Each structure stands twice: as structure tokens, then as C-alpha cells.
Amino acid sequence: MRLSLIVLYAATAETMPMVARFYGAALGTEPVAERHGEGPQHFSVTDPAGNTVVLLGSSA
């Protein structure tokens, strides 16, 4: 079994872009801002191997 997705409730709306840049740099890729329907804006960062970190605001 291989871990491929981590979801973090670790940022406020104000700090989320900074946290996304941190994880993007750690994984060697750019974060992508996303919003699905009426849901909250969040970021995902996927490395070249397909591992994804999703960052949601702490109020999500």
C-alpha cells in the first residue's frame, strides 16, 4: 500500500497561500488553487510521483 493523498486543515484563509507555497517548494512543484462548486477555496500540491497534499482552511 502506498500513501498518495494527505489532507491538512492547517491554514487560515489569510495564511493558506503562504502554506501552499511552502508545501509546493518541499515537493518541488507549484500549488494550484481550487474550488469545487460552492465549497471553500483550497490548494492542492502534487509532486511528480503523484503524491498530493490538499490544504484546507481551518474553518472548512
pLDDT at 60 over 80: no
pLDDT of residue 59: 66
pLDDT of residue 57: 84
Rounded to whole angstroms, the Cα distance separating 12 from 17 reads: 9
11-47 pLDDT, tens per residue?
787 888 999 999 999 999 999 999 999 988 899 999 9
C-alpha pair distances (Å), 5 with each of 8, 17, 38, 47, 56: 10, 19, 22, 11, 13
The predicted model scores a pTM of 0.79
pLDDT of residue 58: 77
Contact between 29 and 45 under an 8 Å Cβ cutoff? The reply is: yes
Residue type, 45: V
